Amino acid sequence: MGNTMQLLIYMEAAIYALIFFLGTAIFSFLNVVIYRLPRHEDFVTGRSKCPDCGHMLSFGDMVPILSWLLFGRKCRYCKAKISARYPIVEALGGIAALLSVYIYGLSIYAILVFALCSLLTCVGFIDHDEMIIPDGLNIAIATIGVAAVFLTEDTVWYEHIIGLFIISVFMLILALIIPQAFGGGDIKLMAGCGLFLGWKNTVFAFLQR
C-alpha cells in the first residue's frame, strides 16, 4: 500500500513537472510573439535568432530558463547580454500552467484559462513596450470568451453577454466625454475579457485596477 502511494506521488509530481515545462515552452514562444508582433514580423514561421548578431538559434539554445542560466545570461555566439525578462516570461508560463491545472483540474476550462493568461501576458508586455494593444490579440481573447460560453459546463450564457458590455461600454462613454481617458485597445480588451469572465467577475476585476 505504501509503495503504491509513493508511486502515485511520483507520478503526480512528474505530471506537474511536465505541465510546468509545457507552460515554459509555450511562453518561450510568446517571447517571440511579444517581440515580432508589434514590428509586423512573421512569428509563426522562420527560426529564432539572436537580435544582436542574427545567428540562428538551435534547440539547445532555447531550452526555457535553463539555456539562459547555462550560457551565463548571454548569447552563446556573440556573448551579448540577454535580458532577464525572457526567462521571467517563461517562468510565468510554467506557473500559469500549474495554477490552471491545480485550480481547474485537467479540463477544457483549465486550457482556456491558460490560453487567456498567455494572451494577457502578450498584451501586458507589448502595451508596456509599445503603448499599443494589437487588435489580433483582442480578437483572440474574444474568441476564447466565446469558447468558454459554449465548451464549459454550468455556464449562464447571458451573464457573459452582459460581461461583454458592462465595463467596455462604460469605458467607451468616458472616452467620448474625456479625450484620451481610455484607448480603443483598452476598451476592446475589456470587452473580450468580459465575455470570458461574465459580468460579476468583470466588475470585480475592473474595481481592482
**What is the C-alpha to C-alpha distance for residues 18 and 31, in angstroms, rounded to an integer?**
20
What sign has the CA pseudo-torsion 77, 78, 83, 86?
negative
Contact 189, 205 (CB under 8 A): no
Residues 6+ apart with CB under 8 A from 135: 185, 188
Segment 59-67 shows an average pLDDT of 89
Percentage of residues in the chain with pLDDT exceeding 70? 99
Cell 470568451 found at: 145
Segment 76-87 shows an average pLDDT of 91
Give the pLDDT confidence of 9-56 residue by residue, as tens digits.
888 899 999 999 999 999 999 999 999 999 988 888 777 888 788 888
> Given this model, what pLDDT does residue 115 score?
98
Which residue would you say has higher pLDDT here, 179 or 199?
A: 199
Helix axes 108-130, 135-151, angle to 10 degrees: 160
Nearest CA among 122, 132, 111 for reference residue 32: 122
**What is the C-alpha to C-alpha distance for residues 15 and 184, in angstroms, rounded to an integer?**
41
The answer on pLDDT for 168 being more than 90 is: yes
DSSP label at 57?
P
Please state the pTM of the whole predicted model: 0.91
